[in-house]
């Protein structure tokens, strides 16, 4: 793919200075850029790297001053939004799958397949499953009995979307994710011998416009449904246990683990490897730093960090002092000794 700087300026509404006929073949980082690369900059902090770069085109906001001779400079209001358009312009030719059912796919005769659906090689679609119009199962996908998929969805290779689960329109599920495995619930057997499985008779209900990363697991509910709200985005290798309820437009980063019956509000951001314990409720608009562990309800929006997760600034400062604990302990000891030498007595701490 290649376009000219002028093409880009037109597409993103940029003010262009420098050579408008500059061919742009790719977006790159400053250190890897050449004459046919476009680099971008969101603020002045990295202006030196731009100056040193061999890049032939620069995407920059209107406020930042940049004088880079011979480069095509594209000034826009919103660099991120413009970059999205540039990436679309430079995307390799789309592999939009053709409608049709590959002869190796195994589709139950009772399944209802919409118009324009693509069922790729080695897909399996169970009894009474419903596949909405223009949805594509790319290859080796499994859709269970009575599952229901909306319109315009894309399921990547190896997705397992199990019986009675559903998703709305425009959902994307990446490779090897699993929707609808049994929830993890056991009770002690009444004879005291081992564990008794709790039946997991519910399902998973996924809204519209949800994207789910690769290798993620969303368990079916014990009863009712595990629910993912419209527009929520979930990264790779995330664990979502039975009966979890996630609101709209949340961002759930990789390797997050949500325990049984957790409720996450709307517009939350969970950083990588966050864990939330059983049944806890996280309010709308909460942002949890990567690695945080939620050990109670969080009822106010804002930034949280640590285990147990606390309001951001205070908790972050505490975490940075953990490695100073030996030093702090020594200072306490020094104080105690000094008082002892003065003959001042200390009460013995109870803990």
Verify binding: residue 214, a second copy, rule CB under 8 A. yes
- Is 109 considered catalytic here? no
Out of 13, 121, 285, 301, the only residue in the binding site for a second copy (CB under 8 A) is 121
Phi then psi dihedrals of residue 83, to 5 deg: -60, -40
Q: Which of residues 135-154 bind a second copy (CB under 8 A)?
A: 139-140, 142, 144-146
Query: Which x/- pattern, by CB under 8 A, does the window 87-106 give for a second copy?
Result: xx-xxx--x------x-x-x
SS3 readout for the chain: CCEEHHHHHHHHCCEEECCCCCEECEECCCCCCCCCEEEEECCHHHHHHHHHCCCCEEEEECCCCCCCCCCEEEEECCHHHHHHHHHHHHCCCCCCCCCEECCCCEECCCCEECCCCEECCCCEECCCCEECCCCEECCCCEECCCCEECCCCEECCCCEECCCCEECCCCEECCCCEEEECCCCEEECCCCCCEEECCCCCEEEECCCCEECCCCEEECCCCCEEEECCCCEECCCCEECCCCEECCCCEECCCCEECCCCEECCCCEECCCCEECCCCEECCCEEECCCCEECCCECCCEEEECCCCEEHHHHHHHHCCHHHHHHHHHHHHHHHHHHHHCCCCCCCCCC
Verify binding: residue 114, a second copy, rule CB under 8 A. no
- CB of 283 vs a second copy, minimal distance in Å: 17
Q: Which of residues 63-82 bind a second copy (CB under 8 A)?
A: 78, 80-81
- CB of 249 vs a second copy, minimal distance in Å: 5
Cα separation, 246 vs 240, in Å, equals: 9
Closest CA to 219 of 158, 177, 157, 188: 177
- CB of 73 vs a second copy, minimal distance in Å: 19
Instruction: Single out the catalytic residue among 102, 242, 323, 327.
Output: 242
Verify binding: residue 194, a second copy, rule CB under 8 A. yes
Query: Which x/- pattern, by CB under 8 A, does the window 293-322 give for a second copy?
Result: x------------xxx-x---xx-xxxxxx
- CB of 67 vs a second copy, minimal distance in Å: 25
Verify binding: residue 224, a second copy, rule CB under 8 A. yes
Q: At 284, is the secondary structure helix, strand, or coil?
A: coil
Cα separation, 30 vs 296, in Å, equals: 44
- CB of 27 vs a second copy, minimal distance in Å: 4
Out of 164, 165, 166, 226, the only residue in the binding site for a second copy (CB under 8 A) is 164
Verify binding: residue 235, a second copy, rule CB under 8 A. yes
Verify binding: residue 246, a second copy, rule CB under 8 A. no
Query: Which x/- pattern, by CB under 8 A, does the window 23-52 give for a second copy?
Result: ---xxxx--x--------------------
Q: Which of residues 274-293 bind a second copy (CB under 8 A)?
A: 275, 277, 290-291, 293
Q: Which of residues 322-351 bind a second copy (CB under 8 A)?
A: 322-339, 342, 344-351
Out of 15, 43, 48, 196, the only residue in the binding site for a second copy (CB under 8 A) is 196
- CB of 7 vs a second copy, minimal distance in Å: 16
C-alpha 320: how far from chain center: 27
Question: Do 323 and 341 meet the contact criterion of CB atoms below 8 Å apart?
Answer: no
Phi then psi dihedrals of residue 194, to 5 deg: 75, -155
Out of 251, 281, 285, 287, the only residue in the binding site for a second copy (CB under 8 A) is 251
Residue with Cβ nearer a second copy (51 or 189): 189
Verify binding: residue 118, a second copy, rule CB under 8 A. no
Verify binding: residue 191, a second copy, rule CB under 8 A. no
Verify binding: residue 130, a second copy, rule CB under 8 A. no
Residue with Cβ nearer a second copy (9 or 33): 33
Q: Which residues are known to be catalytic? A: 242
């Amino acid at each position: 793919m290649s376009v000219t700087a002028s093409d880009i300026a037109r597409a993103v509404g940029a003010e262009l200075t420098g050579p408008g006929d500059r061919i742009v073949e790719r977006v790159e980082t400053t250190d890897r850029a050449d004459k046919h690369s476009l680099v971008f900059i969101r603020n002045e902090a990295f202006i030196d790297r731009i100056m040193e770069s061999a890049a032939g085109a620069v995407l920059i906001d209107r406020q930042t001053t940049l004088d880079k001779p011979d480069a095509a400079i594209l000034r826009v209001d919103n660099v991120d939004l413009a970059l999205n358009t540039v990436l679309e312009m430079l995307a390799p030719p789309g592999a939009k799958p053709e409608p049709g059912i590959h002869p190796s796919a195994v589709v139950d005769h009772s399944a209802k397949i919409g118009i324009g659906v693509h069922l790729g090689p080695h897909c399996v679609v169970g009894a009474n499953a419903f596949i909405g119009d223009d949805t594509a199962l790319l290859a080796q996908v499994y859709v269970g009995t009575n599952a229901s998929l909306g319109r315009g969805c894309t399921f990547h290779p190896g997705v397992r979307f199990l019986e009675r689960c559903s998703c709305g329109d425009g959902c994307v599920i990446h490779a090897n994710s699993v929707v609808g495995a049994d929830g993890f619930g056991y009770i002690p057997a009444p004879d005291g011998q081992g564990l008794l499985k709790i039946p997991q008779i519910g399902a998973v209900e996924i809204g519209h416009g949800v994207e789910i990363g690769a290798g993620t697991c969303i368990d079916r509910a014990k009863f009712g449904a595990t629910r993912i709200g419209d527009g929520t985005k979930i990264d790779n290798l995330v664990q979502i246990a039975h009966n979890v309820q996630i609101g709209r437009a949340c961002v759930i980063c990789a390797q997050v683990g949500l325990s049984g019956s957790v409720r996450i509000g709307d517009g939350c951001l969970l950083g990588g490897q966050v864990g939330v314990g059983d049944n806890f409720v996280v309010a709308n608009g909460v942002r949890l730093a990567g690695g945080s562990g939620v050990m109670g309800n969080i009822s106010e929006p804002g930034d949280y960090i640590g285990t147990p997760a606390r309001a951001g600034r205070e908790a972050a400062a505490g975490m940075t002092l953990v490695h100073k604990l030996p030093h702090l302990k020594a200072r306490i000891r020094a104080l105690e000794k000094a008082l002892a030498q003065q003959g001042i007595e200390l009460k013995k701490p109870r803990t």
